Structure 1
């Protein structure tokens, strides 16, 4: 759910023309990638902690 929310947020609040679509999609991709890494780290720590 969170991974679909980030690109939707950036797409919804995008202003400008065709150039801004590329910038918004790049920003959304970067934030989604960072979020995946952070969620993966947190889940790994929770599942492997003793």
Structure 2
């Protein structure tokens, strides 16, 4: 989830992408290609993220 809960980021390791979904509308905001993503982290300042 983003720090304010506006979106959820879902890693799909076997599919090779990360999906970003709006938590209010459940609409897919983005599908980001990633090489076998196995998890997502955000820093406490929300300035950084990683896979």
Please report the TM-score for the alignment, with normalisation by the length of structure 2. 0.23
Taking CA–CA contacts closer than 8 Å with sequence separation of 6 or more, which of the two structures ends up with the larger relative contact order?
A: 1
Higher helix share: 1
Higher strand share: 2
For the pair shown, which has the larger CA radius of gyration, 1 or 2? Answer: 1
